[in-house]
Chains A and B, each alone.
Chain A
Amino acid sequence: MQMENIKIYTGKQIRNKTLFAFFIFFLFIAGCIYTWTWLHRQPKEQGVHKPLRKGLYMNENVFSRLFSYNNLARSYAKEDVVSKVRVNGNAGLQTPFNAAAWKLHLVRKPGDTLLIGIDEIRSLPKTEIIFDFKCIEGWSQVTHWGGVRFSDFIKKYNLDTQAGLGYTGLETPDKKYYVGIDNESMMHPQTLLCYEMNGKTLPMDNGFPLRLIIPVKYGVKHLKRIGTIFFSSERPRDYWYEQGYDYYCGL
């Protein structure tokens, strides 16, 4: 121990210094407790206390800057694919569904909706992807999907202006499940409008006839059974966002 670290005081001075330090210490503890309870007294925005919601927006701001079309979700070999694809949630799939009558409602702008049949979508250039599908719950599965790249779809239907708007909204035919996604993520080369799973037609419980596969997002954004696609400069409504989850959900 160095000499300059040693100081001489009276007992009273030492007592006062000690009391002062503990006063600050208890003030700190009180401050922590106050901050924690204050946070939980704050009004909520979409199910989340406002300061935390602001924090999530800040995270989106920070981490969307990391986003690059060159950053790809890792691809896997066919041998890595799981035999049984997990089905997690059926929101938007419970309404009786007439598969034969299905058409994709592509809203080019309000009042201008194009109806597209599944055969037309199947005739577009096909892309396949085998990737580790990640659920927000924390599990993941290597799964195999086939469909048309969303960016190819945008090109084919001359939707560059719409893609520049900021957001794409997707809804199930019964409108009971809906997501909103930033167009940067929608235009990522691994984002698919998907009609095949493991080389076969998409099963009913996985969103027949057309679902979204978007590896740069958690599973909650991979909407099954797309009924409507629309574009917006504002954030479209989002099912899980309304229930207290992050809007961005970017991976």
Chain B
Amino acid sequence: MKRIIKKHSLATRWFHWVNFPLIGIMIWSGLLIYWANDVYRIGWGDRTILKFFPDSFNKALNIPFRLAEGMNLHFVFMWLFIINGILYVLYLLFSKEWKMIFPNRKALKEAWQVLLHDLHIRKGLPPQKKYNAAQRIAYTGVIIMGFFMLLTGLAIYKPTQLYWLCAILGGYEWARAEHFILTILFVLFFIVHVIQVIIAGWKNFRSMVTGFDVISHEQPKEHTETIS
């Protein structure tokens, strides 16, 4: 006989896995749109360290001259992305799951300790519930990012009818830049997330599909794995 311990509700798994292809389509169609006016870069003056995006990147992914296609995908799939996001946040609030995700008072200090631990500088982790402090900050951060994604997106989509929103965000061009920066942050989150999941291992990934962890008799009840 083995014990299983419930980890992720069906709702959490649903929102997580539905979000994955939706964000993928939003970023892909966003790339098709961005190409038509690809002005952002990292650098100063005439010196450019990184152009968004290098021609080789655009060429490799067959991005050029697909603006209309990008806009059409973006403005249809946005609805699914928004609906999934809103339902997820409502679920968080009503299921009390938010207590597991929103950072608590000790979060900053503990997140620092988690970071030092993950970088093999510090031994031992602070005690945690479902998520550690670094995860709490990251997961809450990404929800807030999603919300700003929606706001900045709306501001550049309807800058006249939603002129007040556009103004709050610093005007049309700023809103577009913010929308772009948020996308980059999303991609960075995704990369770190995937690396952490790979490090955490198969059992952790499995629980995001099955919803439960299997624990053998030897392990104490309180034990939870470091999860991503």
What 1/0 mask marks residues of chain B from 64 to 106 whose CB sits below 8 Å from any chain A CB?
Answer: 0001110111011001000000000000000000000000000
What 1/0 mask marks residues of chain B from 207 to 228 whose CB sits below 8 Å from any chain A CB?
Answer: 0011110110000011010000
Give the shortest distance, in Å, between A2 (CB) and chain B (any CB).
9
- Indicate if B47 sits at the interface (CB-CB under 8 A): no
Which residues from B are CB-within-8-Å of A245? 68, 71
Which residues of chain B (149-175) have a CB below 8 Å from chain A? 158-163, 166-167, 171-173
- Indicate if B141 sits at the interface (CB-CB under 8 A): no
Give the shortest distance, in Å, between A81 (CB) and chain B (any CB).
15
Known interface pairs A132-B172, A138-B36; A59-B75 also in contact (CB < 8 Å): yes
Interface stretch (choices B1-9, B132-140, B182-190): B1-9
Are A244 and B68 in contact, CB atoms less than 8 angstroms apart?
yes
Which residues from B are CB-within-8-Å of A77? none
Known interface pairs A52-B72, A56-B75, A56-B76; A66-B161 also in contact (CB < 8 Å): yes
Give the shortest distance, in Å, between A91 (CB) and chain B (any CB).
15
Q: Report the Cα distance A199→B214, complex, angstroms.
A: 75
Are B71 and A14 in contact, CB atoms less than 8 angstroms apart?
no
Please report the number of residue pairs spanning A and B whose Cβ atoms sit closer than 8 angstroms. 123
Are B214 and A14 in contact, CB atoms less than 8 angstroms apart?
yes
Which residues from B are CB-within-8-Å of A48? 68, 72
Which residues from B are CB-within-8-Å of A114? none
Are B160 and A71 in contact, CB atoms less than 8 angstroms apart?
yes
Give the shortest distance, in Å, between A3 (CB) and chain B (any CB).
8
Task: From B5, B36, B215, B221, give the contact of A137 (CB < 8 A).
Answer: B36
What 1/0 mask marks residues of chain A from 1 to 25 whose CB sits below 8 Å from any chain B CB?
Answer: 1010111111100100110011001
Which residues from A are CB-within-8-Å of B176? 138
Are B2 and A9 in contact, CB atoms less than 8 angstroms apart?
yes
- Indicate if B34 sits at the interface (CB-CB under 8 A): yes
Q: From B37, which residue of chain A is reached at the shortest CB distance?
A: A138
Known interface pairs A48-B68, A132-B172; A5-B5 also in contact (CB < 8 Å): yes
Which residues of chain A (1-58) have a CB below 8 Å from chain B? 1, 3, 5-11, 14, 17-18, 21-22, 25, 28, 32, 47-49, 51-53, 55-56
Using CB atoms and an 8 Å cutoff, list the residues of chain B in contact with chain A: 1-6, 17, 21, 33-34, 36-37, 39, 67-69, 71-73, 75-76, 79, 129, 158-163, 166-167, 171-173, 176, 206, 209-212, 214-215, 221-222, 224
Report, nearest first, the 5 A-B pairs whose CB atoms are least far apart: A138-B37, A55-B76, A137-B36, A244-B68, A21-B210
A-B contact pairs, 7 of them (CB 8 A): A7-B6, A66-B161, A68-B161, A71-B163, A137-B36, A216-B161, A243-B68
